[in-house]
Amino acid sequence: MTENSEKVSVLFVCMGNICRSPTAEGVFRHVVSEAGLDELVDIESAGTHAYHVGEPPDRRAQQAAARRGYSLAEIRARRVSEGDFERFHYIIAMDEDNLAMLHEQADAAHREKIRLFLEFGSGPETEVPDPYYGGATGFERVLDLVEDASRGLLAVLRQR
């Protein structure tokens, strides 16, 4: 990516948009900002379900993120909309279930934009596990995976 590059847009998606996808949004914003590319990348998150629309991220997700220097405070949950498939260049699902739901919602012309986040990671995992019903270690594990995949995604965007 150079200053003359077209702006790229990324949407992170999980089920309720209060744990994994806002964590990915916050971490990726930080990674992109550290690279000096804020003006070239639009970053948002959304959920496949409307359980928590308008709510901030889960308190435990915010606390875990804050311990690593990431702020999720301004993020509010929203549901994936039909227009998102047109608007975003990358639609990044946290797991196979949400990937399948996104593929069902998207027109055939937009399905190639939909990917699993950990495709960009360096480990063997394919899904970011949902930490909602677990303890604090689940949120730390999510951050480990998201940090790694964020670096990989940024490397891919730099090649655009």
Mean pLDDT of the chain: 96
Query: Which pLDDT score, from 0 to 100, does residue 3 have?
Result: 56
- Mean pLDDT in residue range 81-94: 98
Query: Between the CA atoms of 130, 131, 137 and 139, what dihedral angle is there, to the nearest 10 degrees?
Result: 90
Report the alpha-carbon distance of residue 136 to residue 132 in Å, rounded: 9
Query: Which pLDDT score, from 0 to 100, does residue 44 have?
Result: 98
Please name the residues in contact with 129: beta carbons below 8 A apart, sequence gap of 6 or more.
95, 138, 141, 142
Over residues 125-157, the pLDDT tens digits come to 999 999 999 988 999 999 999 999 999 999 999
- % of the chain residues with pLDDT over 70: 97
Residues that are catalytic: 14, 20, 130
Query: Which pLDDT score, from 0 to 100, does residue 160 have?
Result: 85
Question: Which domains can be identified in the chain, with CATH numbers?
Answer: 8-158 (3.40.50.2300)
DSSP 8-state symbol, 92: E
Please name the residues in contact with 103: beta carbons below 8 A apart, sequence gap of 6 or more.
111, 114
> What stretches of the chain show up as alpha helix (H) in DSSP?
20-34, 59-67, 82-87, 96-105, 136-158
Residue 86 in tokens: 């047109």
Report the alpha-carbon distance of residue 108 to residue 118 in Å, rounded: 23
